[in-house]
Amino acid sequence: MKYILLSTLLVLEIFAYVVKAPIVEVNEKMGIAKIEIDKIDVGMSGFIVHKLSKEHSTILKSAVVVNYNNETGVAKLKMSEFNLLQNDALPKGNWSVEVGDSAVLAFGYTRAFLLAPNEEVYHKVSRASKSIQWIHPDIFATILSFNGHPTPLKEDFEVLADSVSVGILFFYLDKKVYTLDSKSFKILNISDAPIEQKSTELPFYTRVEEIDASWWGEGSSELEEYETHYYELMIKYNKQNKKLYKIVKNLDKKNRNLLAGFDIKEEK
């Protein structure tokens, strides 16, 4: 078993490091900044830091990698408002992102959440890495109960990320581990983890026996299909991921209708 999870272990270790790079170009109107870096994954999120003085700096924007050119080594970042530490009692500056500011990406990737179908799978995957601090699924189940969502939505994962500083998500489905950025929900990696799955708990493995449900609205219904729901959720935010498309295409007939959610045209 220790060899079965070797590839997963290597992936977990790779994503346990913060990436920093200076801003080399800014288009404030378009909300775009660029950095030069040897390698980066599209979908990685973080923020942009502006230096005020030798001793002081401030976070100006959230940022997500939306494009990377392997030939030039230039990554394009989409900027948005940073509101994680929002406090109306504090004064606000009028600073703008400038060339020379720092992009900090993959921040918080040492804290992760693993979504697994049962306790055995959860422990086998999570024990593959000692460098990552795992946030227990009971915490996520509590968030779902507070939101009234027995069926998890992307917004629930965002609440988890913000409330307990989770940087990365791992989903176990059909003997594979999917690595997702907790903010962008983009798939960063897919690795094999052929663990025998003897049972499936819904909506995922947790010791919380019951998740409260809202009277109506998206996410208020009980989850009926583990794999189908989480495939749908990943497809919604990874419509052009060819590797995911190929995996879904090889699923059983019941789940192949999920292919309609992709923005991929097959070559004839």
pLDDT digits (tens, 9 = 90+) for 98-148: 999 999 998 888 899 999 999 999 999 988 777 789 999 999 999 999 999
Residue-wise burial string across 140-155, b where 16 or more C-beta atoms lie within 10 A, e elsewhere: bbbbbeebebbbbeee
pLDDT at 1: 45
Cross-strand pairs, 27: 32
Query: Phi first, then psi: what are they for 47, rounded to 5°?
Result: -155, 170
pLDDT at 116: 97
Domain 19-105 has CATH 3.90.1150.10: no
Lowest mean pLDDT among 122-131, 145-154, 176-185: 122-131
Q: How confident is the model at residue 254 (pLDDT cuts 50, 70, 90)?
A: confident
Amino acid identity of residue 152, one-letter, is P
Residue that wins the pLDDT comparison between 149 and 191: 149
pLDDT at 203: 97
Residue 92 above 80 pLDDT? no
| Parts of the chain belonging to CATH 3.40.50 | 6-12+108-261
* Sequence-separated (6 or more) residues with CB below 8 Å from residue 54: none
* Sequence-separated (6 or more) residues with CB below 8 Å from residue 2: none
Residue 69 above 90 pLDDT? yes
* Sequence-separated (6 or more) residues with CB below 8 Å from residue 261: 232, 235, 236, 239
DSSP state of 117: S
- 167 in Cβ contact with 111 (< 8 Å): yes
* Sequence-separated (6 or more) residues with CB below 8 Å from residue 197: 117, 118, 121, 175
Instruction: Strand 111-115: give its sheet, edge to edge.
Output: 133-135, 111-115, 168-173, 176-181, 187-192
Q: How confident is the model at residue 54 (pLDDT cuts 50, 70, 90)?
A: confident
Query: Phi first, then psi: what are they for 206, rounded to 5°?
Result: -160, 155
| Parts of the chain belonging to CATH 2.40.10.170 | 19-105
pLDDT at 56: 85
Instruction: Write down the H helix ranges in 170-241.
Output: 226-236
Give the E-state strand segments of the chain in sequence order.
Answer: 19-27, 32-36, 45-51, 57-69, 74-81, 102-105, 111-115, 133-135, 168-173, 176-181, 187-192
Query: Phi first, then psi: what are they for 195, rounded to 5°?
Result: -95, 135
Annotate 37-77 with DSSP letters as a single string. Answer: -S---TT-EEEEEEE-SSS-EEEEEEEEEEEEETTTTEEEE
Residue 46, token pair as written in the block:
């973080």
pLDDT at 90: 56
Q: How confident is the model at residue 74 (pLDDT cuts 50, 70, 90)?
A: very high
Residue 9 above 60 pLDDT? no
pLDDT digits (tens, 9 = 90+) for 196-216: 899 999 999 999 999 999 988
Residue 228 above 50 pLDDT? yes
What average pLDDT is seen over the chain?
88
Residue 18 above 90 pLDDT? no
Q: In the CATH scheme, what is the code of domain 6-12+108-261?
A: 3.40.50
Residue 6 above 50 pLDDT? no
Q: Which of 56-65, 77-86, 229-238, 245-254 has the highest mean pLDDT?
A: 229-238
pLDDT at 235: 97
The count of other CB atoms within 10 Å of the CB of residue 101 is 20
Distance of CA 115 to the CA centre of its chain: 12
pLDDT at 83: 74
